[in-house]
Structure 1
Amino acid sequence: MKKFLLLAASVLTFISCEKDNKTGNLHLSGDIKGLGQGKLYIQKIQDTALVILDSIEFKGNSKFDTYVNIDEPEVLYLFLDRGQTNSIDNNMAFFAEPGEMNITTKLKEFYAAAKVTGSKNQELWEEFKQMNSRFTNENLEIMEKRLYNEMNFNPKTQDSINEAYNRLLTRKYRYVANFAVTHADHEIAPFLALTEIADINIAFLDTISKKMSPKIKKSKYGKMLDEHIENRKKEN
């Protein structure tokens, strides 16, 4: 019995040391309030596929603390496996940066209630999302008008709706382009150019690329943006 207890203690010590010995240039801590059990996966996109950087198991404690290694600032993804509880609100993207980052959220509002600190790119992303939500709301209003007009079709109304949509799209694209140019010294600039306005007039993408600092041009998203611009030019 004594030998068994010593063996068990050794195993627990090994597990504890293994957990404590996690290394990486990103120290990620947080709290998923209301979570009793489940598993959290930290993922990144690599070669068009999601790969797992780390996984954290929860057993009665909603807080987590881990280390992962990232080459540079980039978007990472959290996936929460709730076990027996099904929910569509299980995914969260955040702009990670080497250093200290903290994420707090709630089990019932995993994405909506999330607060992320420790990343300047994340701060800029949140600022962008606030403005972008206005464009999203306006687009929903236009879609609603378009659906109603399809049931009671009027050509003039349709033309008016199309004009409103084109004006909205132009306003959004200009806002994104200006935001990227203004913050061209951060990785968020090429990231937004790629994810929000990849099909904009090539001149705008060129302007964003030229405004990027040497560091950003060498970054993951900076290289991807320049490659995208080059491919666009070849197609024309």
Structure 2
Amino acid sequence: MKKSIIAFVTLALLASCSNKNESPDNLHLTINVKGLKTGTLYIQRIKDTSLVAVDSVKIDGNAAVERDIKVESPEMLYLFLDRGVTNSLDNNILFFAEPGNMTIETNLDNFIAGAKITGSKNQELYEEYQKINNRFRDENLSMVELKFKALKRQDQKALDSLDAKQQSNIKRKYLYATNFAINNKDHEVAPYIALAEIYDINLKFLDTIQKSMTPKVAQSLYGKKLTKYVADIKKEEQKAPAAAE
């Protein structure tokens, strides 16, 4: 629990600090939502533990828009569609923004599932990571369903077997995330995955990812966050034995 709080606070504080230095808009983002006639698109980022809009555009007949945004370091942003009807999570597209030209193409009926995002190497790597990560998630959901059925029929042997398989699935998921981050240490997606996906893994794995980052990535938004997060955990662990005495 302490680790999750440290991770979340670290993400929020460093996100707010990153916005202090002024720099020109360096991301040219083209958005096309086929079938959208009216509504408002918001481009959001995490600041002070909340999603805040950094830009917005009203759609009135033309579904294709272009925006220029300041991105000081590759960062996960959110494209939110206000349809004027619902504030559902299925209206929010996560995308790994980075300086340059990026395009988000999607459609009104399948806003998230139909999204195609191009122009970002970190986004490309994140999608590659998610393809395998989703398999672990689907396997876990299947086992949850099987455990429910086993519990209903009071089959303890099946429950024990499924528990073991579930733990094995979690370990494989975490090891995959760790290896993916280390293998992509020269991209900002590496520290992002460490913070967003496996923040509660054993410290030695986070430490390995943190030390493997290239100098450029270490100085990025998420690189600094990971360095601070690992340092904070080490401090907490050093305090624990002293408190026990």
Q: Under TM normalisation by the shorter chain, which class is it?
A: 0.7 to 0.9
47 and 157 in structure 1: CA distance in 2 versus 1, 3 angstrom threshold: same
1:186 shift after superposition: 0.6
Partner of 2:19 in structure 1?
none
Partner of 2:128 in structure 1?
127
Structure 1 residue 198 corresponds to structure 2 residue 202:
no
Deviant stretches of 4+, over 3 Å: 84-88
Corresponding residue pairs, total:
214
Partner of 2:212 in structure 1?
211
Instruction: Give the aligned residue type for 2:38.
Output: Q
Instruction: Give the aligned residue type for 2:104.
Output: I
For the residue of structure 1 that corresponds to 2:40, the secondary structure is strand
Structure 1 residue 136 corresponds to structure 2 residue 137:
yes
Distance in 2 (CA, whole Å) between partners of 1:160 and 1:85 is: 42
Partner of 1:69 in structure 2?
70
Instruction: Give the aligned residue type for 2:66.
Output: D
Partner of 2:20 in structure 1?
none
- Deviation string 1:166-223 (CA, Å, 9 cap, x unpaired) is 1001111110000000001111000000111111111111111111011111111111
1:157 shift after superposition: 1.5
1:47 shift after superposition: 2.2
Partner of 1:98 in structure 2?
99
- Deviation string 1:57-90 (CA, Å, 9 cap, x unpaired) is 1111111111111111100111101124675521
Listed as ranges, the matches of 1:1-236 within 5 Å are: 24-84=25-85, 88-236=89-237
| Structure 2 alignment gaps of length 5 or more | 1-23, 238-245
Q: Which has the larger radius of gyration?
A: 1
Distance in 1 (CA, whole Å) between partners of 2:228 and 2:195 is: 11
Instruction: Give the aligned residue type for 1:120.
Output: K
1:154 shift after superposition: 2.0
TM-score normalized by structure 1? 0.87
226 and 88 in structure 1: CA distance in 2 versus 1, 3 angstrom threshold: closer
For the residue of structure 1 that corresponds to 2:187, the secondary structure is coil
Distance in 2 (CA, whole Å) between partners of 1:47 and 1:185 is: 27
Instruction: Give the aligned residue type for 1:98.
Output: P
- Deviation string 1:18-46 (CA, Å, 9 cap, x unpaired) is xxxxx711100021000010000001112
130 and 78 in structure 1: CA distance in 2 versus 1, 3 angstrom threshold: same
Distance in 2 (CA, whole Å) between partners of 1:212 and 1:88 is: 32
Identity %: 50
Instruction: Give the aligned residue type for 1:115.
Output: K
| Structure 1 alignment gaps of length 5 or more | 1-22
78 and 161 in structure 1: CA distance in 2 versus 1, 3 angstrom threshold: same
Distance in 1 (CA, whole Å) between partners of 2:134 and 2:87 is: 27
TM-score normalized by structure 2? 0.84
Partner of 1:20 in structure 2?
none
- Deviation string 1:132-167 (CA, Å, 9 cap, x unpaired) is 111111111110111111211122222111100110
Distance in 2 (CA, whole Å) between partners of 1:224 and 1:132 is: 22
CA RMSD of aligned residues (A): 1.3
